[in-house]
Structure 1
Amino acid sequence: MTTDVRVLRPDDWEAWFGGLELAFGGVPEPEEARAFFRDITEFERSLAVWDGERIVGSAGAFSFRMTVPGGAAVPTAGVTMVSVASTHRRRGVLTSMMRRQLDDVRALGEPLAVLTASEPAIYGRFGYGVSTQRLGAAIRTDQVSLQLPPGVDAFTLRLADPAEPEVLAACEAVYARQVPGRPGMLARRPGWERQGVVDPAAERSGASARQCLLAERDGELVGYARYRLRPEWDASDSPTGVVAVDDLEATEPAAYAALCRFLFDLDLMTTVSLPNRPADDAWQHLVSDIRRCSVRLRDGLHLRPVEVGAALAARTYAVDVDVVLDVSDPFCPWNTGRWRLSGGPAGAVCERTDAPAELSLSVRELGSAYLGGFSLAGLAAAGRVREERPGALARTALAFSGTVAPWLPHGF
């Protein structure tokens, strides 16, 4: 088979996106969603694989800056729109796109690449490791109560049109204030704020249009929630509605609790659904009975260091660390070898070395541990990290740990 990987031309976007839709089940996206996706497509970073006159593969990347431990916003490639036509599976199409893409990312000087996976088993062979988790819950608000902190009555709550320009801008400013404080969050480029308000009627599945609740104090927005209401009744005509929460952001604990109280108290609703929250989200410490919340964890962000030295030097570390890492990376061999990481809470340096290795691991495990969401000690217990010098693992695992759980608040 002869295929050709090319940069996507704007004139080919419809065919390119149509192939992506077909690969994901063949259901066309609503026009509102398609318009958003076209607007945010970075054509110079989008690839199409051609077999003659037909596009048989797609892959793209967004230019993000992602928060890493210590608060730095690091240039990061957000890998997206990956598909292979069903007629061309197992023929090297995906490998050719991943090869070209990672070479391009390296040339752009981005030390990290991230993605969300429709099938998590696919991307480990290209060096991606699960780096964050998303906490989901279905909270029975008819069976639990909230234990609220002081100050929740200091805020004015009001409903607003989520797509109204001033509301959208104010909510985006609240989001932006949160980004430096949590690894994995993305500093969004202009246009990305629209993702939270794209609301095709065809995708509501019996729920209301998206609603927006604002929490204000002295006229300043300090928090917001975007959600849908799905009214339901059981066989005895008792209400069993669901509040499906898409976004929940607040700049201080009392404002967060005030938003939760509103969402938990809505008439005719007995469940609050939270599909994607940080693993350490505060609602877990507000509810009276965690067993009535149907908690579940799923993989979130998959991360790959593209340049190991630059990636490890870009973040800080919980305690001082001086360790030699022996990294294997068959897909990006420029990373393979020994690296000396020296750093701490104030910063770090990571350079090549000939010194003996103290820990051995692949770039995939490095990706999993990078944001602090998974422990090197846990990976070692699974046989995926090897301690070469006694004592090196415990100190390095502690150094890589974080104070808050890393989290990706939305897909891309």
Structure 2
Amino acid sequence: MTLDLRVLRASEYDSWHEALELAFGGVGGGVGDSELLRDLAEIDRAIGVWDGDECVGTTGAYSFRLTVPGGAQVPTAGVTRVSVAATHRRRGVLTSMMRRQLDDVRSLGEPLAVLTASEPAIYGRYGYGVASYALSAEIDTSRVHIRIPGGVDGEGDDIRLRRVRADDPDVREACEALYAADVAKRPGMPARRPGWERLPVVGTGAARDGLSALQCVLAERDGEVVGFTLFHNRPEWDVSGPKGTIELRDLHAADPVAYAVLWRFLFGIDLTSALRVRSRPVDDAFRYLVSDFRRCEPRVRDDLYLRPVEVAPALEARTYRTPVDVVLEVTDTFCPWNEGRWRLSGDAKGATCARTADAPDLVLSVNELSAVYLGGTPLAALGRAGRVRETRAGALEAASVAFGSDVAPWLPHGF
């Protein structure tokens, strides 16, 4: 039977979502999670592939604005909910959806597309590259402690910690303001549209899976909220006594002292001896506050995948750490409109990018361009791996410095 690829109709949402859940093992995320997904879904950006009455392929996109080096928030397609039924693998279903989706993204004028990958090997063939990494840690808080910046007795004493309800509207407003302030500073963070402020707290009001209900603690100075943390407690006991684990869900602060005070609070919660951290920036400040990073058992993994949908607008949307004037020869078999030679000229104030007939300085595929775009992967490292070819001496090192970012890119939550 011929497969039918089409934009989702609102009446088909339940069947489409059930196909997605089945492809991911058949276990849903809970009632609250499902309700939020439905509310946030952009039905006109969702695509389904149908075999008769059965949905056998799904993908969708959110209309994001993503922070890039230099601080601009660039229109971006947040690709999401990608699946193919196990019965329909190796029939071109995923490729057909990716083709249609990127064509649609281009028509909407979004220079970037991003996603998180359940299986990293899949998306390279569609031009995506790993643009940011995430740091996880299993911290032995019985043997590791936090240093407050400044090293002065009493530092942080002007900060009051207050436990509040995470779902209180006033609390969420204050927390969102701190999140938004960080969005402006760090590449890779999406500016949250209305409704997304529910994401950190949805489905966490009741204890489950051995975890406490979501807890929220604010850090306040002179009555102003200067930080917050969201976390769960996983209580546990053995014959020696308590050995509970704190599972960090979120933490933002307006200044280094407030940030350190919140971390110190998490380290010192009674009846616990471990802090589990997931998906933090690889340059997270806690790394430089702990007394023993080795006992934090750090682990880094790939996180945000990105691809320029339109090379010139994407490269012009960000700034560059040092002046750069380089001709890039780009191959992009999946989006052939990006192929060819591009002269990129820019600095910390802005950039221009246009087609050129000049000889290339660097030869690379769109995958490499994707990986270095947010400044988290050095272009020179890809050159040492043989993935970027330098044809003008010195061009690789100069471009690598220019593409870099003093702040590591970070995706703070999935989508």
TM over 0.5: yes
Matching residue's letter, 2:176: E
- In the TM superposition, residue 149 of structure 1 has moved relative to its aligned partner by 1.3
Partner of residue 402, structure 1: 405
Aligned to 2:22: 22
TM-score by length of 2: 0.97
Change (3 A) 1:401 1:203: farther
- Given that 2:206 and 2:214 are in contact with CA atoms closer than 8 Å, whether structure 1 keeps it comes out as no
- Corresponding residue of 2:189: 185
Q: 2:295 aligns with which of 292, 295, 302?
A: 292
CA distance in 2, matches of 1:49, 1:67: 32
Instruction: Report the counterpart of residue 44 of structure 2 in structure 1.
Output: 44
- Choose which of 192, 199, 204 in structure 1 pairs with 2:203: 199
Q: Pick from 344, 359, 364: which aligns with 1:361?
A: 364
SS in 1 for 2:242: coil
The CA deviation at 1:29 is: 2.6
1:339 maps onto 2:339 in alignment: no
| 2:244/2:271 contact within 8 Å kept | yes
**Structure 1 range deviating more: 331-340 or 49-58:** 49-58
1:56-71 alignment to 2 at 5 Å? Answer: 56-71=56-71
1:152 Cα deviation from its structure 2 partner? 1.6
Letter in 2 for 1:14: D
The TM-score normalised by the length of structure 1 is 0.98
Counterparts of 1:277 and 1:203, CA distance in 2: 24
Alignment of 1:69-148 (within 5 A): 69-148=69-148
**Is the partner of 1:187 in helix, strand or coil?**
coil
User: Structure 2: which amino acid aligns with 1:155?
Assistant: I
**One-letter amino acid of the structure 2 residue matched with residue 386 of structure 1:** R
Check whether the contact 1:233–1:241 (CA below 8 A) recurs between aligned residues: yes
8 Å contact 1:243–1:271 — kept in the other structure? yes
User: What's the CA shift for 1:199?
Assistant: 2.4
Write the distance in 2 (CA, Å) between the matches of 1:203 and 1:146. 29
Aligned to 2:223: 219
Separation in 1, partners of 2:282, 2:299 = 10
Cα displacement (A) at 1:203: 8.4
Instruction: Name the SS of the counterpart of 1:28 in structure 2.
Output: coil
SS in 2 for 1:176: helix
- Kindly state the Cα deviation for residue 204 of structure 1 after the two structures are TM-superposed: 3.6
Report SS of the residue matched to 1:152. coil
Q: Which runs of 5+ in 1 are unaligned?
A: none
Superposed CA offset, 1:243-300 (max 9, x none): 0001010111000011011100000111111111000001111111111100000111
> Structure 1: how far apart are the matches of 2:9 and 2:220?
45
- 2: CA distance between counterparts of 1:93 and 1:300? 24
Post-superposition shift, 1:4? 1.4
Q: 2:177 aligns with which of 173, 176, 180?
A: 173
In the alignment, what sits opposite 2:352?
A: 349
Contact between 2:147 and 2:289, CA under 8 Å: does it hold in 1?
Answer: yes
Q: CA separation of 1:163/1:202 partners in 2, compared to 1, >3 Å: closer, same or farther? A: closer
How far apart are 1:237 and its partner, in Å? 3.3
- Contact 1:328/1:336 (8 A) holds in 2: yes
Which residue of structure 1 lines up, in the alignment, with residue 391 of structure 2?
Answer: 388
Which deviates more, 97-106 or 196-205? 196-205
Structure 1 residue 381: Cα displacement: 1.1
The answer to whether the Cα contact below 8 Å between 1:242 and 1:273 also exists between their aligned partners in 2 is yes
Answer whether contact 2:244 2:272 (CA < 8 A) is retained.
yes
Displacement of 1:154 in angstroms is: 1.6
Task: Tell me which moved more, 182-191 or 145-154.
Answer: 145-154
Matched to 2:270, the amino acid is: D
Aligned partners of 1:360 and 1:46: how far apart in 2? 35
Amino acid at match of 1:268: L
Residues 177/70 of structure 1: CA separation in 2 closer, same or farther (3 Å cut):
same
- Percent identity over the alignment is 60
| Structure 1 residues 236-385: aligned runs within 5 Å | 236-385=239-388
Amino acid at match of 1:189: R
Q: Secondary structure at the match of 1:166?
A: helix
Q: 1:108-140 CA deviation, whole Å, 9 max, x = no partner?
A: 000000000000110000000000000000111
Distance 1:153 1:324 in 2: 54
Determine if contact 2:211/2:235 at 8 Å carries over to the other structure. yes
Give per-residue Cα distances to partners, 1:59-88, cap 9 Å, x unaligned.
Answer: 000000000000000000000000001110
Query: 1:267 aligns to what SS in structure 2?
Result: coil
> CA separation of 1:203/1:75 partners in 2, compared to 1, >3 Å: closer, same or farther?
farther
**In 2: Cα distance, 1:89 partner to 1:219 partner:** 57
SS of 2:184's equivalent in the other structure is helix
- 2:332·2:339 contact (CA, 8 Å) conserved in 1? yes
CA RMSD of aligned residues (A): 1.1
Give a deviation string over 1:337-379, Cα, whole Å, max 9, x none: 0000000111100000000000001101100000000011111
Contact 1:135 1:275 in 2 (8 A): yes
TM-superposed deviation, 1:316: 0.4
Displacement, 1:238?
2.2
- Asked if the contact 1:199–1:210 (Cα under 8 Å) also holds between the matched residues in 2, the reply is no
State the SS of the aligned residue for 1:254.
Answer: helix
2: CA distance, partners of 1:218 / 1:202: 32
Distance across 1 between alignment mates of 2:257 and 2:145: 16
Asked if 2 retains the 8 angstrom alpha-carbon contact of 1:30 and 1:202, the reply is no
Find the residue that maps to 1:259 and give its secondary structure: helix
Number of corresponding residues:
411
Task: Give runs of ≥4 in structure 1 deviating > 3 Å.
Answer: 200-204
Q: Is the 8 A contact 1:199 1:209 kept in 2?
A: no
In structure 2, runs of 5+ residues without a counterpart are none
- Which residue of structure 2 lines up, in the alignment, with residue 232 of structure 1? 236
